[in-house]
Structure 1
Amino acid sequence: MTPVTRRIEGVVAEALLINADDDVATLLGDAAVGESIRVGDVELVAGEAVTKGHKVAIHAIAKGAPVRKYGAPIGVATAAIAAGEHVHSSNLHSGLSGTLDYAFQEKADAGAAATVDGGSFLGYRRPDGRVGTRNEIWILPTVGCVARTAERIAARAGAAAGDRIDGVHAFTHPHGCSQLGADLAGTRSILAALACHPNAGGVLIVGLGCEENQVDELLGEIPEWRRASIRTVTAQFAEDELADGCAKVAELVDLIEAKREPVGLDALVLGVKCGGSDGLSGLTANPLVGRMSDRVTQAGGAAILTEIPEIFGAEHLLMQRAANADVFERVGGLVNRFKQYFIDAGEPISENPSPGNVAGGITTLEEKSLGAVQKGGHATVVDVIDYGGQVTMKGLTLLEAPGNDAVSSTALAAAGATVILFTTGRGTPLGFPVPTMKIASNSGLAQRKPGWIDFDAGSVLEQGFASAEEALLDRIRAIASGEETKAEKNGEREIAIWKRGVTL
């Protein structure tokens, strides 16, 4: 990136050029009509009022020409654009189309990467060798009909448990009945994966009795080794389901009491996610999180990247880092399968960004994707897993899930993420089963919403990445060791399940 490091007389707005080949620069402050904008050694004049985070052309762009940002096309100019003119929805459109053919190119073998000591945190070692960042009991209802029952059990049993464990939490949802085939299987697989999470020392499964998602069938998808720390209640067959559930949680509390112990960063599984992005997300928060992905994977740990529709137009950056031809083909297959999912529904594949993204300066899906994939850093892509799958390899894993914040973050937790880094330019209070750190792309958001934001990545514009990188890594270690995130303090702990089929 080429940051602006000085102001000159008469220049009232600064902009940042990310790549020398780019056609646009991103404003770091608002510019009024006729005001000067400094981009490196170039001085432009704003052709109209342009808001912070939005783009201006650094030279004339012809109608029909590709427009580049991050060193890659983010769309096609729909009109001639003058230097200094605002580049946005009025003159830029997505260039994305349908599914694509991808060709793997063998890379020179660079040899095995050296493992770098990433320091340690205090975690909970589990019998299967994994490490949790919390020691909690999770209550999972099989069906929405007993969602409130699960919440009541959690409240009563949590109060009884006190501080013997880190908490008792019910994760409710409206699904589990009136579903068929793959749709029901998806609900069951995500619940089974959550039941295996290392942050859940014990799990209570609460069923109704007559639902499609039967307790026994859900248990059948949970490995035998895990079932010793799982209890079940079926409300229709229990004399008092509340008392029964609380008694079984009390059993689990006795079973799972444990102490934290020092473990290396190789024991961490980092989920990375962005939501409510703005024009600065791809310049500050997302690349900073990418550095965290690199630090964790270089230490021998794992990172998980998802939001497949927000990879469209940037998938080549991940495919270039595929560990081998098989992983390359699976990345391409997943992207094409997701595109076909939109096409089969009669929807355009580029119907993204959201209104909030657009207001924040993001114009096309390609632009959003090129900023979003930076959360994966430069780590080798070692695996591709389906929705409801669990991470099994060290390095960067690509997970099938949509861009929706709640659905994809739930999938990250189910896949085994023990901390989620969630970048945002607009802000959101939402939290998920595992500690979810909200990382602001701009300092204004961090100052305006201190009750939501855990870390201000806007600081990199003034201080650079090096100091922010160390500061964020310290915060991750602290939170992995038990310090609560803002979402945890606010009681924001939810799941959402990806429903894809008919409802009976």
Structure 2
Amino acid sequence: MPDTLDQPVQTLPDAVRIAPDDDVAVALRALAEGETIHVAGQFVTLAQPIGRGHKVALHAVAAGDPVRRYGWPIGSATAAIARGAHVHSHNIRTNLKAEEPYSFTPSPSAPATADKRWQFQGYRRADGSVGTRNEIWVIPTVGCVARTAERIAKQAADRHAGQVDAVLAFPHPLGCSQLGDDLDGTARVLAALASNPNAGAVLIIGLGCEENQLSKLLERIPPARRDRIRSVGAQISADEYEAAESAIDELVVIASQDRREPVGIEALRLGLKCGGSDGLSGITANPLIGRAADVVTQAGGQAILTEIPEIFGAERLLMQRAADEPVFDALVALVNRFKRYFIDHGEPISENPSPGNVAGGITTLEEKSLGAVQKGGHAIVTDVLAYGETLRRPGLTLLEAPGNDAVSTTALAAAGATMTLFSTGRGTPLGSPIPTLKLATNHDLARRKPGWIDFDAAQVLDDGLDAATDALMARICAIASGEPARNEVNGERDIAIWKRGVTL
């Protein structure tokens, strides 16, 4: 897939075509019926109004023919489409199928020169990782002590203000009435969160009678992290609040000795996410995030792409970039396993996009996916992780998790991301345990919701992708060095665990 908008688009003020053989262009502003626009070297008169982010046919398309955007089919025409007509869910259907065979046909990108200009002030950890924050996290094993954890964290935050970056609790409703793989997934995610480099130290509080036993959870935490872990069992403590206070006081003494120091961008662990996407997501914010992912991975750092149902229809683009056949096989297994997850629950694999996506101009899951995978840039796919596993290799990692914003951002943090780039065309205040930078796909959203948005990615349209990349990297480095992201300012620091099994 080609880079989009390498140059500013002042010569294309109305709509933009991504690839030379695309059948459609995407409106950059609301267009009126009867208006004649200039796009892709031709003039097109509009047969209907076209909303911003929606598609207009550049030529006639026969019923049953594929419709291309990004140089790939995004579905097939359900009726004849005239030149200048609105192309959307009323005249396109998905072509997605269930589990498919794939063949390993690697097509790696040409290696790029690493951009060594970028660095940030981070916290070095004993296991070799680098945090962008130095916080105390309070994690409950089970929902029964979720509110207890919140009260403990609030009291400690007031008591230790200014000594660490923050003291935060991450309540959740799970940890009991779960079985098998479902319970194991909860335990793996909580242990992985406790190992995130942004946690300078962690208090884990258990109840005592839950399936997610405190002692077993502690065994899952890598030895290099255990000197900064403390635990409290509420049922066996005479006063769990007093015990927690003492434990956190001890942890603050340890973590407060940590200091930021300059590190290269290769030390960043970057989560990649989109939510509330629109028709401009694949033109502005997602390609821009892809550029940031390339900067980090080319320098030797790590980036994580998840939301597996939102690569359906574009998975071959990632499979072509697998580092080797074992990585390819793992990616194929992950995609087909996720498709089987939908089928086993009697659901179509193409039910996405959401109503908000459709209103913003996205028609089929293929179209959404082709835009979404651009967040991975051109990096080689070096690893594939199951839900709850943590980063192992430099490069681009594919992580098992659904598209749900809260679940997938939590999975990114659990995998070890120390910052997440989150593109949005519709807007959302949601955050995760780590800085969760919101990139607006359009100027209107950035202007209307400055309390939510960290970066206006629509400057790609004004200044070109290269200039916008430099501006975004400067913002990333500032936030990695301690400037708060909007989710942190707003107190949007939550987790959600993927529940896949029965409830007892």
**TM-score higher than 0.5:** yes
Contact 2:58 2:83 in 1 (8 A): yes
**How is 1:48-447 mapped onto 2 (pairs within 5 angstroms)?**
48-105=48-105, 115-257=114-256, 258-447=258-447
| SS at 2:235 equivalent | helix
Contact 2:126 2:224 (C-alpha < 8 Å) held by counterparts: no
| CA-CA distance at 1:324 after TM superposition | 0.6
Query: How much does 1:118 deviate?
Result: 4.0
Q: Which amino acid aligns with 1:129?
A: G
CA distance in 2, matches of 1:382, 1:482: 29
Paired letter, 2:121: L
Letter of the 1:228 counterpart? D
1:58-77, Cα deviation, whole Å (9 max, x unpaired) = 00000001100000000011
Distance 1:89 1:107 in 2: 32
The offset of 1:244, in angstroms, is 1.3
Q: For 1:113-170, what per-residue CA distance to the aligned partner results, in whole angstroms no more than 9, with x for missing partners?
A: 6544142110001111110000001110011111110000000011111111001000
Distance 1:489 1:107 in 2: 42
Change (3 A) 1:107 1:16: closer
User: One-letter code of the match for 2:168?
Assistant: H
Change (3 A) 1:106 1:97: closer
Deviations 1:189-235 (A, max 9, x none): 00010011111011100111111111011112112222111111111
- The residue type paired with residue 5 of structure 1 is Q
> Which whole-Å deviations, capped at 9, do the CAs of 1:349-380 have from their partners, x for residues lacking one?
00000000000000000000000000000000
- 2:438 aligns to what SS in structure 1? strand
Q: Does 1:30 find its partner at 2:35?
A: no
CA distance, structure 2, for counterparts of residue 108 and residue 458 of structure 1:
29
Q: Is the 8 A contact 1:32 1:49 kept in 2?
A: yes
Which structure 1 residue ranges, 4+ long, deviate > 4 Å from structure 2? 1-4, 106-110, 112-115
Tell me the amino acid that sits aligned with residue 188 of structure 2: S
- Work out the CA distance in 2 between the residues paired with 1:6 and 1:414: 44
Q: Give the partner amino acid of 1:92.
A: I
DSSP-derived class of the 1:105 partner: coil
Matched with 1:10 is none
Cα distance in 2 for partners of 1:65, 1:194 equals: 47
**Residue 501 (structure 2) aligns with:** 501
Secondary structure in 2 matching 1:153: helix
Separation (CA, whole Å) in 2 of partners of 1:5 and 1:82: 27
| Closer, same or farther: CA 263–93 of 1 in aligned 2, 3 Å | same
CA contact (8 A) 2:109 2:378 kept: no
d(CA) in 1 for partners of 2:56, 2:112:
40
Give the superposition deviation at 1:25.
Answer: 0.4
Distance (Å, rounded) in 2 between the aligned partners of 1:262 and 1:245: 33
Q: Secondary structure at the match of 2:459?
A: helix
Query: Does the aligned pair in 1 maintain the 2:271–2:304 contact within 8 Å?
Result: yes
Q: CA RMSD in A?
A: 1.4
For residues 391-438 of structure 1, what are the alpha-carbon distances to aligned partners after superposition, in whole Å with 9 as ceiling and x for unaligned?
111110010000000100000000010110000000000111011100
CA distance in 2, matches of 1:108, 1:422: 26
Write the distance in 1 (CA, Å) between the matches of 2:421 and 2:183. Answer: 29
- Kindly provide the amino acid, as one letter, of the partner of residue 64 in structure 2: G
Equivalents in 2 of 1:78, 1:126: separation in Å?
56
List per-residue Cα deviations over 1:217-259 (Å, max 9, x = no partner).
1112112222111111111111111121121111000011211
CA shift at 1:40, angstroms? 2.6
Q: Which amino acid aligns with 1:132?
A: G
State the shift of 1:4 in Å. 5.4
SS of equivalent residue, structure 2 residue 458: helix
- 2:10 matches 1:5: yes
Provide the C-alpha distance between the structure 2 equivalents of 1:190 and 1:404, rounded to a whole number of angstroms.
16
Match of 2:409, SS state, is: helix
**Matched-pair contact (CA < 8 Å) for 1:193–1:222:** yes
* Paired residues of 2:109 and 2:379 also in contact (CA < 8 A): no
Compared with structure 1, are the counterparts of its residues 318 and 259 closer, same or farther at alpha carbon in structure 2 (3 Å cutoff)? same
Note the C-alpha offset of 1:106: 5.2
Higher RCO (C-alpha under 8 Å, 6+ residues apart): 2
SS of the residue corresponding to residue 397 of structure 1 reads strand
One-letter amino acid matched to 1:277 = S
Deviation at 1:107, TM superposition (A): 5.6
Shift of 1:34: 1.4
Matched, 1:464 2:464: yes
Gaps of 5+ in 2: none
Structure 1 segments unaligned to the other structure (5+ residues): 8-12
TM-score (normalizing by structure 1): 0.97
Partner Cα distance (2:315, 2:213) in 1: 38
- For 1:383, the aligned partner's letter is D
